[in-house]
Structure 1
Amino acid sequence: MATKVIEGFRRIAGFANVFGCLDCTQIRISTPHENEADYVNRKGFHNGDVNGILLGDSGYPLTKYLLTPYLTPRDPSEERSNSSLCRTRVVIEQTFGILKRKFQALHFGLRTIPDQAVTYVTACCILQNIGVERKDTMISSDSKDLNIAEPHVVATRSTMVFEG
């Protein structure tokens, strides 16, 4: 399975040995009663972050295991690299879109405390995976290119991690 996913990512834009993408989406939550300021995002609403799995956008630091775009490309080679990276990592953005369309509460917001929000998002991820396993979900053309039915979602207690 891992070999198929790596090959699928390589076919998108030529990146070798990529096994996932990293991004973040925000899901509105009710104002928490404790540590309220910890949950206010840059847009001014309360949220819980959901992280995906390792190409990242420019909001992430370049590390040994995380490839991000050039902030100021200096030549056509760096511009092509940025273009390829963006075409490849769009899969994670589409995965978040699939979840938010399928489970509208994730799009409009959860009226609950942060710990309970994690439980709700985890349940949505589990239901998504059940649908993928039963083949009763729509298959996007991008997912077909990656040799996966639809992106599988892995959820943990502190963050939600999307594999695809």
Structure 2
Amino acid sequence: MVTNAICDHIVHQKISFPALIEERNNNKENLLNKWGFPGVIGAVDGTHIAILKPNAEEHNFVNRKGYHSINCQIIAILKPNAEEHNFVNRKGYHSINCQIICDYKLKITNIFANYGGSSHDSFIWRNSQMNDYLRTLYQANERCWLVGNSAYPLLPYLMTPYRNPINDAEERYNQAHISARNVVERCIGLLKMRFRCLLKERTARYAPHFVCKLVKVCAALHNMCIDASIDEELPHVENEELAGHDIVPQQIRNPHEQGVQMRKIS
């Protein structure tokens, strides 16, 4: 009941992507000053939330690592009767794959939890509202972007690293990119340290659609902690999702032409 109440009445107040150009420009300035990467308004990454084997269509929840999880981009709600095989991730366990976007303060500005652990980060991105929103900003000639790892497609509004840098300029770009992108890895690590029910070792013992609500509530409370300046020691967290980034979907191997040009001038 408490989780449902917070999800219904507080989450949308505490998790919001910068809607005003002034807010986005503030994010750009802070990320540029901190890490020397221009135009960045946030970083995106996916993280798996381990769940028990669902009663229905179990294979959709098993991720590539062998446990049941939800792959969160961090936003919405799975259908209660989603097929089980959709939750099996690449490590072989059931999960929900959550997509998280955060700003320079480690505040979560968007969370998308619509898909099981079998879904690749790039697929989740393509089907997210943020992809559509940032495309709209780009088409309106606003030059801002997120940074994401090599699991994501290179787009005019989503900068990814060079997979095989061939000169000093590309090496420098990758170093700045790593520094800027690190905010989302730190954000996810801090979120899971604050709310240990999200750790793989804890394995959420609820129906997948309720776990999606639980993740969003934890994200909202995480933002409230940041607003209240509640300090916690940042943990050293290995990003377990990185191990699967050698699995590159075809659409990522063929990057967006305008994204290639944007990456050269960023």
TM-score, normalised by the number of residues in structure 1: 0.79
Q: Which residue identity lines up with residue 60 of structure 1 in the other structure? A: Y
* Partner residue in 2 for 1:154: none
Matched, 1:138 2:231: yes
The 5 Å alignment of 1:4-83 reads 4-34=26-56, 35-53=83-101, 54-83=146-175
Taking a change above 3 Å as real, the CA distance of residues 64 and 140 of structure 1, as seen in their structure-2 partners, is farther
Measured after TM superposition, the shift of residue 140 of structure 1 is: 6.9
Structure 2 segments unaligned to the other structure (5+ residues): 1-22, 57-82, 102-145, 235-266
Q: Which residue identity lines up with residue 194 of structure 2 in the other structure? A: K
Q: Which residue identity lines up with residue 89 of structure 2 in the other structure? A: N
Matched, 1:117 2:211: yes
In structure 2, distance between residues paired with 1:13 and 1:133? 22
In structure 1, distance between residues paired with 2:52 and 2:190? 23
Q: Who wins on radius of gyration, i.e. which is larger? A: 2
In structure 2, distance between residues paired with 1:112 and 1:9? 37
Q: Which residue identity lines up with residue 98 of structure 1 in the other structure? A: L
In structure 1, distance between residues paired with 2:148 and 2:38? 15
Structure 1 vs Structure 2 CA RMSD: 1.6
Q: Percent identity?
A: 34
Measured after TM superposition, the shift of residue 114 of structure 1 is: 1.1
TM-score, normalised by the number of residues in structure 2: 0.50
Matched, 1:102 2:124: no
Q: Which residue identity lines up with residue 30 of structure 2 in the other structure? A: G
Measured after TM superposition, the shift of residue 139 of structure 1 is: 6.3
Q: Which residue identity lines up with residue 39 of structure 2 in the other structure? A: N
In structure 1, distance between residues paired with 2:180 and 2:46? 16
Measured after TM superposition, the shift of residue 133 of structure 1 is: 2.7
In structure 2, distance between residues paired with 1:116 and 1:127? 17
Deviations, residues 107-164 of structure 1 (Å, cap 9, x unaligned): 12211111000111111112212222333x11679xxxxxxxxxxxxxxxxxxxxxxx
